[in-house]
Chains A and B, each alone.
Chain A
Amino acid sequence: EVQLVESGGGLVEPGGSVRLPCAASGFTFSHVWMSWVRQAPGKGLEWVGRIKGETDGGTTDYAAPVKGRFTISRDDSKNMLYLQMNSLKTEDTAVYYCTTESPYSSSLDNWGQGTLVTVSS
Chain B
Amino acid sequence: SYVLTQPPSVSVAPGKTARITCGGNNIGSKGVHWYQQKSGQAPTLVMFHNTDRPSGIPERFSGSNSGNMATLTITRVEAGDEADFYCQVRDSSSDYVFFGGGTKLTVL
Residues of A within 8 A of B (CB): 35, 37, 44-47, 50, 61, 63, 97, 101-102, 105-114
Please state if A44 and B96 are interface contacts (CB–CB under 8 Å). Answer: no
Measured as residues with beta carbon below 8 angstroms from the partner, the interface class of chain B is: 20 to 34
Please state if A108 and B88 are interface contacts (CB–CB under 8 Å). Answer: yes
Partner of A105, one of B44, B48, B95, B101: B48
The B interface, classified by DSSP as helix, strand, loop or mixed, is: strand
Residues of B within 8 A of A (CB): 31, 33, 35, 37, 42-45, 48-49, 52, 54, 84, 86, 88-90, 95-102
Please state if B102 and A106 are interface contacts (CB–CB under 8 Å). Answer: no
Chain A residues, Cβ within 8 Å of B33: 105-108
B30–chain A nearest beta-carbon distance, Å: 9
A100–chain B nearest beta-carbon distance, Å: 10
B70–chain A nearest beta-carbon distance, Å: 13
